[in-house]
Chains A and B, each alone.
Chain A
Amino acid sequence: MKKKTIHNEQLGYHTPEGYFEESKKEMLRFLENQKPEVKTNTALRQLIVGAGIIATVVFGVITITNKSYQTESFEQLTIESLEVSDEEFDLWFDENFVLNDV
């Protein structure tokens, strides 16, 4: 009551008749349809976050390793495909140059 008087008299703020009683009931009625947000156990939450971080790191490491392995095998394959044995080269050289000259 004291607060209401101060605000009315010094600041000129008024409220509708019976506002506080009515609004209190109305707001509590409104909350009946709401549910409080359930707090997750802090320890459990930390465990979940920790597990998430570890999973991300492991996934990242596996992905990077896999990728570098794949790159490595591709490069190896490419180089190997260019390799020609000495024997094959001699045969090819003989056929195309040496024998042609004869």
Chain B
Amino acid sequence: MDSEAHIVQQLKNKQFALAVTAISDTYHELLYWHIRKLVKQHEHANDALQNTYVRIFKGLPKFGFKSSIKTWCYRIAYNESLRFLQQQQKLSYNDSNDETTDYFAHLTADPYFDLDSVSHALHESLAKLSEKQQQVFQMKYFDELTFEEIADITSWNVNSIKTAFYAAKEKITLHLTATV
């Protein structure tokens, strides 16, 4: 029995504590990376992940078996990350109009980010994408989610997700070819 079927069985038996442990065993790291790419900083990702766990645990009895456990958990993590970012935006006053500067300011403020070890060009090209293109590209490329899964998570139309992904891919390729 695969982990997804195992969790579904536990939910049907109303074993919520066991189900959340199984979810944690299967998706803990994946959810962390999904959140980290959205909120960027480790401490923020850790806070959003904890809130995600609380929502998952409280929401388990209401799980309707309409989607997979994986996309359901990702969806909660995605919404929690967006909520976290909205709160951050309300709290911080930003007078910069340069999105690339903002992007790097967020990254370099994190002690658990090492710009020297990575391709600066990749982050530069990501910073130039729209919010939607960034999210779609990262979910597809790094999280290896399908277009249908991304649609379930974000509630966006599958065709618009495909368009965003291919546009993002083209922009990144062009930028990397020009800079490397």
Given the known inter-chain contacts A20-B29, A23-B46, please indicate yes or no for A36 contacting B142, CB distance below 8 A: no
Q: Which of B1-43 contact A (CB under 8 A)?
A: 16-17, 20-21, 24-25, 28-30, 32-33, 36-37, 42
B58 lies within 8 A of chain A by Cβ: yes
Report the minimal beta-carbon distance from B69 to chain A, rounded to whole angstroms.
15
A97 lies within 8 A of chain B by Cβ: no
Partner of A31, one of B49, B53, B115: B53
Encoded as 1 (CB less than 8 Å from any A CB) or 0, chain B from 109 to 136 comes to: 0001111111100110000000000000
Q: Who on chain B is nearest to A25 by CB?
A: B24
- Interface class of chain A by DSSP: helix
Q: Who on chain B is nearest to A23 by CB?
A: B46
B50 lies within 8 A of chain A by Cβ: yes
Q: How many A-B pairs fall under 8 Å by CB?
A: 90
Q: In the complex, are the beta carbons of B123 and A11 less than 8 A apart?
A: yes
B72 lies within 8 A of chain A by Cβ: no
Q: In the complex, are the beta carbons of A12 and B20 less than 8 A apart?
A: no
B16: chain A residues within 8 A (beta carbon): 36
Q: In the complex, are the beta carbons of A13 and B112 less than 8 A apart?
A: yes
Cα distance A15–B28 when bound, in Å?
14
B60 lies within 8 A of chain A by Cβ: yes
Report the minimal beta-carbon distance from B115 to chain A, rounded to whole angstroms.
6
The 10 A-B residue pairs whose C-beta atoms are closest, nearest first, are A12-B118, A39-B61, A14-B112, A36-B16, A12-B114, A27-B53, A37-B58, A24-B28, A36-B61, A31-B57
